[in-house]
Amino acid sequence: MADQQRTRLVSLLLWTLPALCACTSNVANCWSGRLIPDDYDKTKTPFVPGTPLPVQTSIWVSSVTSVSELAADFTVDLYFRLKWHDRRVAYPDCEKRPFLLLESTEIDRLWIPDVYFIGEKRATQHMLMRRNAALRLNKNGSSLYLSERLTLTVICNYDFQLFPMDSQACELGIEPYVYHKEYLDLSFEDPGVYFNNFKFRIPQFDLRDVKAGNCSYTYMYQGTALQQSCVRAVFFFERVFRYHFLQIYVPSLMIVGISFLSFFVPVTVVPGRIALSITTLLTLSTQMQAVQKSLPPVSYVKASDVWMFFCIFAVFSTLIEFAISYRHCTNVQKKEVTKVWPIGARSEDKPAESSVHQALARIGLTRNRPDLVDAISKIFFPTAFVIFNIAYWSYYSGLQSEKRKLMEKSYEA
Question: Does 221 lie in the same domain as 206?
Answer: yes
CATH classification of the domain holding 395: 1.20.58.390
Using alpha carbons, list the distances in angstroms from residue 150 to 103, 146, 209. 18, 13, 20
- pLDDT recorded at residue 409: 87
- pLDDT recorded at residue 5: 53
Q: What is the mean pLDDT of the chain?
A: 85
Low-confidence ranges of the chain (pLDDT < 70): 1-33, 197-200, 335-368, 413
For residues 97 and 139, is the Cβ–Cβ distance under 8 A? yes
- pLDDT recorded at residue 364: 55
- pLDDT recorded at residue 128: 84
Does 340 map to a domain?
no
Domain residue limits at 300: 243-334+355-410
CATH classification of the domain holding 115: 2.70.170.10
State the number of CA atoms in the 13 A half-sphere of 160 facing the CB: 19
- pLDDT recorded at residue 6: 57
- pLDDT recorded at residue 346: 53
For residues 229 and 187, is the Cβ–Cβ distance under 8 A? yes
Question: Does 285 lie in the same domain as 305?
Answer: yes
Using alpha carbons, list the distances in angstroms from residue 124 to 69, 78, 121, 146, 200. 21, 11, 11, 17, 20
- Distance CA(3)–CA(210), nearest Å, equals 77
Using alpha carbons, list the distances in angstroms from residue 355 to 289, 352, 361, 363, 365. 46, 9, 10, 13, 13
Helices 250-260 & 372-410 angle (0-180, nearest 10): 160
- pLDDT recorded at residue 21: 42
Final residue in a domain of this structure, among 206, 239, 272: 239
Question: Does 254 lie in the same domain as 196?
Answer: no
| CB atoms inside a 10 Å sphere around CB 321 | 22
- Distance CA(345)–CA(347), nearest Å, equals 7
Paired sense of beta strands 73-85 and 53-68, if any: antiparallel
Question: Does 280 lie in the same domain as 235?
Answer: no
Question: Does 209 lie in the same domain as 137?
Answer: yes
Q: In one letter, which amino acid is 215?
A: C
Cis peptide before 191 (omega within 30 of 0): yes
Q: What pLDDT, in 10s, does the model give residues 309-320?
A: 999 999 999 999
For residues 303 and 396, is the Cβ–Cβ distance under 8 A? yes
- pLDDT recorded at residue 7: 55
| CB atoms inside a 10 Å sphere around CB 66 | 14
**Total tally of structural domains belonging to the chain:** 2
- pLDDT recorded at residue 30: 64
User: What DSSP designation does 301 have?
Assistant: -
User: What DSSP designation does 164 have?
Assistant: T
For residues 172 and 116, is the Cβ–Cβ distance under 8 A? no
- Distance CA(326)–CA(365), nearest Å, equals 16
- Distance CA(6)–CA(8), nearest Å, equals 6
> Dihedral (C-alpha) 88, 89, 90, 92: value to the nearest 10 degrees?
140
Question: Does 259 lie in the same domain as 208?
Answer: no
Find all residues with CB under 8 Å of 290, minimum gap 6, and list them. none
Final residue in a domain of this structure, among 184, 218, 239: 239
Q: What pLDDT, in 10s, does the model give residues 45-55?
A: 999 888 999 99
Question: Does 255 lie in the same domain as 232?
Answer: no
Q: What pLDDT, in 10s, does the model give residues 22-42?
A: 333 333 456 666 778 888 999
Question: Does 57 lie in the same domain as 195?
Answer: yes
Does 300 map to a domain?
yes
- Distance CA(380)–CA(235), nearest Å, equals 46
